[in-house]
A and B are shown apart, each in its own frame.
Chain A
Amino acid sequence: DVKVTQSSRYLVKRTGEKVFLECVQDMDHENMFWYRQDPGLGLRLIYFSYDVKMKEKGDIPEGYSVSREKKERFSLILESASTNQTSMYLCASGGVSTQETQYFGPGTRLLVL
């Protein structure tokens, strides 16, 4: 079974703090994704990566950066957390073929105070 893990299920941070969310997949997938999930808005893509050290902005990249130094690991960084970044963050990985699904991690619920 494909496994996608995220470093934390719940996280509480203060405004201005630097926040790291890590995601690891064990299926040698080329593509990895970071989404933000908010009620009524579905999943919105923050960033995705199609190879090591390669990244592309998604729909809502402002206030976020990412790092992919190894194929299996994709990190999301909030340089200076703000209250409007309180949300559920989902990581996913998948292959390059269009028919392939994405495999999701359990999510990190982040609260910024």
Chain B
Amino acid sequence: AQTVTQSQPEMSVQEAETVTLSCTYDTSESDYYLFWYKQPPSRQMILVIRQEAYKQQNATENRFSVNFQKAAKSFSLKISDSQLGDAAMYFCAYRSPWDGQNFVFGPGTRLSVLP
């Protein structure tokens, strides 16, 4: 079974600075998708960014980008020009096309943004 690890339970960043959240996963599959989700306080979880394992190019969405290292099974999220609204829980997730198409989530990283 796949597992997802986020080794940083909490992180903080100064407003306008850059922060990187770590995620590693364990799988024997070659094709899969990886996702980062954001859960703001008392608000719904939303998708931040996704990456297909077959694509070598790292995904980017505005200020959010990933560093996908397939061989190392690493999928970190970089937030540039951090804003107060980026404060949230961030979850890394893995989705297999075979294992019931379920998502496997990491334990989350709580990001604080300091003014």
Identify whether the interface residues of A are mostly helix, strand, loop, or mixed: strand
Asked whether any CB of chain A lies closer than 8 Å to the CB of B84, the reply is no
Asked whether any CB of chain A lies closer than 8 Å to the CB of B30, the reply is no
Identify whether the interface residues of B are mostly helix, strand, loop, or mixed: loop
Could you tell me which residues of chain B, from 38 to 70, have a CB within 8 Å of some CB in chain A? 43-47, 50, 52
Q: Let me know if B50 and A99 touch, CB within 8 A.
A: yes
- Chain B contributes a number of interface residues (CB within 8 A of A) equal to 27
Q: Let me know if A45 and B106 touch, CB within 8 A.
A: no
Cβ contact of A104, chosen from B44, B95, B96, B102, cutoff 8 A: B44
| 22 pairs, CB–CB < 8 Å, chain A vs chain B | A31-B101, A33-B102, A33-B103, A40-B107, A40-B108, A42-B4, A42-B91, A42-B105, A42-B106, A42-B107, A43-B91, A43-B105, A50-B100, A56-B100, A96-B101, A98-B32, A98-B95, A98-B97, A99-B50, A101-B47, A104-B46, A106-B43
